[in-house]
Amino acid sequence: MKRSRQFINGMLWCAAGLVFPAWQLPAWAQDYPAKPMRLILPTIPGSAFELFGRLVGTKMGEAMGHPIVAENRAGANGMIGAEAVARAAPDGYTLLWATPSQVVTSVFLSKTLPIDPARDLLPISIAAEPVTALLLNPKVPVSTVKEFVDYAKRNPGKMSYGSPGIGSFFHFTGELMKQAAGVDIVHVPYKGPPQALNDVFAGRIEMTIVTLGTARPLEKAGKIKILALLEPKRFAGAPDLATFTETVPGFVKPGSWYALFGQSALPRPIVARLHRELAASLKTPEARTWLDTNLHTGVGNTPEEFAVVYKQAFEDFARAAKIAGIKPE
């Protein structure tokens, strides 16, 4: 997708906002917020992503003196919620909590999106990154990534992995993993992660990709084995688990972050304030406990750092879509 000048300018506004001294802020910015804010969650209730968004929003609202009211707006692969924010007034009172699955991958699935996520949304900060794991049915006769790759090469087209559907984050990740390892593994799409997991348990498929927070209890119950993490480096909360990249250095997992966005013309002082409060919220005992319990990594990066990550996400998923043979319809 073509990157617009507006998108680039938005990234520069973010960067400038971080060094905008408080005493120089116009009166309207110093008074922000003056009323409750909305946090649009483009998903149904109950997921880790949604629950952590509510927690972060609550903590930010407490610090800012006005509540941030969470509102679920699911549908159209996240585009219903994203559009609500993109078309809102650029005043900082309507914010978006999103993952790449809601604001990046849709670009490669549909020709008729109501907005251009790269142009119409302004990245503020990544709050957390879930740790992703490749898990196998315990009967698959491998215990290391090298053994897995060798086994897959000896059995081309005979192994399969499940994902929550064509064009899902886990589908894209699986295709990048296959390409980097040079293996032929069949993709089997499901309606959601539980269905894929059930077929791994039953041995109908050999593997799937899930978050480590989901995988650890299943591993302890003996239902699966975790082969490796798909992160660029080992996770401090599970130092015993190797990464796929240690054996296959050409593999780079796309981002799977939980992040805060605003409308593209959001003024830089408001962007700076929102980033500052989000970063502070991640240091609260409640947020730290949630991150540790759910095996996520807290981030809180700056808007200009997130801008680089956001741009890279479009490039990573474009490559994955090409490898998977996915074209927008």
Is the whole model's pTM more than 0.85, yes or no? Answer: yes
Q: Tokens 């074209």 sit at which residue? A: 327
Please name which of 226, 204, 205 lies closest in space to residue 217, comparing C-alpha atoms: 226
Q: What is the 3-state secondary structure (H, E, C) of 139-162?
A: CCCCCCHHHHHHHHHHCCCCCEEE
Separation in Å, CA 103 to CA 14, 217, 316, 317: 19, 30, 13, 11
Domains 5-130+254-324 and 132-230 share a fold: yes
Class of 132-230 in CATH:
alpha beta
Q: What are phi and psi of 140, to 5 degrees?
A: -65, 125
Q: Is 102 in contact with 79 (CB distance < 8 Å)?
A: yes
Q: Is 303 in contact with 125 (CB distance < 8 Å)?
A: yes
3-state secondary structure at position 299: coil
Q: Is 133 in contact with 203 (CB distance < 8 Å)?
A: no
- Which CATH superfamily groups domain 5-130+254-324? Bordetella uptake gene, domain 1 (3.40.190.150)
Burial of 256 (0-12, 13-18, 19+ CB in 10 A): buried
Query: Tell me, what's the pLDDT at 26?
Result: 52
**Tokens read off for 173:** 């990740």
- Per-residue pLDDT at 98 exceeds 60: yes
Lowest mean pLDDT among 14-18, 168-172, 309-313: 14-18
- The average pLDDT across 256-273 equals 97
Q: How confident is the model at residue 237 (pLDDT cuts 50, 70, 90)?
A: very high
Query: Within a 10 A sphere around the Cβ of 284, how many other Cβ atoms?
Result: 17
Q: What type of residue is 224?
A: I
The average confidence (pLDDT) of the chain is: 91
Q: Write down the domain spans for the chain.
A: 5-130+254-324, 132-230
**Tokens read off for 285:** 């005992």
3-state secondary structure at position 207: strand
- The average pLDDT across 294-315 equals 97
Omega of the bond prior to 194 within 30 degrees of 0, cis?
no
Q: Is the dihedral of CA 272, 232, 194, 161 positive or negative?
A: positive
- Per-residue pLDDT at 201 exceeds 90: yes
Q: Measured in Å, how far apart are the chain's first and last C-alpha atoms?
A: 14
3-state secondary structure at position 30: helix
Q: What type of residue is 258?
A: Y
Report angle CA 313, 59, 92 to the nearest 5 degrees. 60
Query: Within a 10 A sphere around the Cβ of 42, how many other Cβ atoms?
Result: 29
- Per-residue pLDDT at 262 exceeds 90: yes
